[in-house]
Amino acid sequence: MLAWRATGPQRIVSCSPLPTMVRAVEEDHLNDTGTTPEAVSPLDEMPVVDGSTEVSTRRRRISLGLLRLARPRQWVKNVLVFAAPGAAGVLSHGHIALREAGGFGVFCAAAAGTYLLNDTLDAAADRHHPTKRFRPVAAGEVPVTVAATTGLVLLAASVGLAWWLAGGHLALVIAIYASVSAAYSLRLKHEPVIDLACVSSGFILRAIAGGIIAGVSLSDWFLIVVSFGSLLVVAGKRSAEHAELGELRSAHRRALGAYPPTFLRSVRLIAAGITLTAYCLWAFERAHQIGVGHHPIWFELSILPFVMAVLYVELRFERGQGGAPEDLALGDRTLQVIGLVWVLLFAVGVYA
C-alpha cells in the first residue's frame, strides 16, 4: 500500500479573489498619493451622540408629555363660563365677551393643574386601565415630581389671575374648584356617590364663574339645569367605564366597583328627567319675561333640540359609550348638528 507523506511546511493556497482585489486597491492608492492608506475602524463610522442633543430631546419629550397631561381636548368643558352671560343676553357686549374669554383661560389653567395632580396620584391605578395606562405619568414619560410641581404652579397662577380678572369672588370659586379636585384625587374618588358629586361640581363651578365675571345673577332654573345636566354626564361616564373595564373596574377605582349597572342607569334617568323638566320651565319663564314686543316662540322651539340632545346622549350612554364626554362633543356629528340648531334657536330668542 502506497502512502504519501508531506514533507516540509505545507502551504495553503486560497482561491478567493479578495486578497488580490485588496492589493490592487492599495497599489492604486499608493500610486496616486504616495502613501499607504490607513485602516478604517468600524467605530469611526458610528454616529457621535452629542450630550446636549440627548438632553434637548428629553426636555422636548417631557414638554410634550406635560401638554398631553393638561388634556387640551377637555378644555371644551370650560365653555360653560359663557353659559350664564349668554343666557342673560349680555355676551354681545365686547368688554364682557373679553372678560369671559379671560375666565375661559383661567379655568383652562386651573383644570390643567388639577389634571396634572390627579394623574400624579392616579399613576398606579391608571396602569390597570386600557387607555389611561398610556398617560405620560403612568407610562413613565414625565417624572412624578415634574408633573406635581407644574400642577401646583398652574393652580396658584389660576387663583392669582382670577383675582386680577374679577376680584375675590372669582378667586374663591377657583380655590374651591382646586380644593374639591384635590380632595377628590386624594380620597373622595373612592367614595360612591360622593365621587359623582365632586366631578359634577366642576361643571357647576364653571357656570357660576361665568355669572360672576359678567356680573349677572343666576336663576334657580339655570342652576338646576346645569347641576343635573352635569350629573347626567358624570353618571354616563361612569357607566361607560363600568362596561369598558369589566372585572378590572375595582382595581382602577374602588367606587366604580361599588356601582351596580342598574344604579348608574337610575341616576342617569333621574338626572335626565329633572334636567328636561327644569329646562322646559325655564324656557317658558324666559319667554314670558321678554315676551313683550318680541315673539317668544323661539324659546319654546329650543326645547325640541334640547330634548333630542338629552335623549341622544342617553342612548350613547346606554350603549356603553361616553367614557370621554369631550369625544362626544368634538367628534359626534349628529350631536353637533343638534347642538347647533339649539344654539341658533336660543340665540334668536335672546338676541333678536
What are the structural domain ranges in the chain?
69-218, 219-352
Contacts made by residues 276-282, CB under 8 angstroms, sequence distance 24+: 276/306, 276/307, 276/310, 278/221, 278/224, 278/225, 278/228, 279/221, 279/225, 279/303, 279/306, 281/221, 282/219, 282/221, 282/222, 282/224, 282/225
Nearest to 284 by CA among 328, 221, 327: 221
pLDDT of residue 29: 46
pLDDT tens-digit map of 322-335: 878 888 888 899 99
Q: What is the DSSP string of 100-130?
A: HHHHHHHHHHHHHHHHHHHHHHTHHHHTTST
Which CATH code for domain 69-218?
1.10.357.140
- Cell numbers standing for residue 205: 363651578
**Given a cut of 70, is residue 244 above it in pLDDT?**
yes
CB 50 within 8 A of CB 121: no
For the ranges 34-38, 54-58, 61-65, the one whose mean pLDDT is highest: 61-65
Beta strands in the chain (DSSP E): none
pLDDT tens-digit map of 248-292: 776 667 778 888 989 999 999 999 999 999 999 988 887 777 765
| Dist CA 319 CA 261 (whole Å) | 12
pLDDT of residue 31: 47
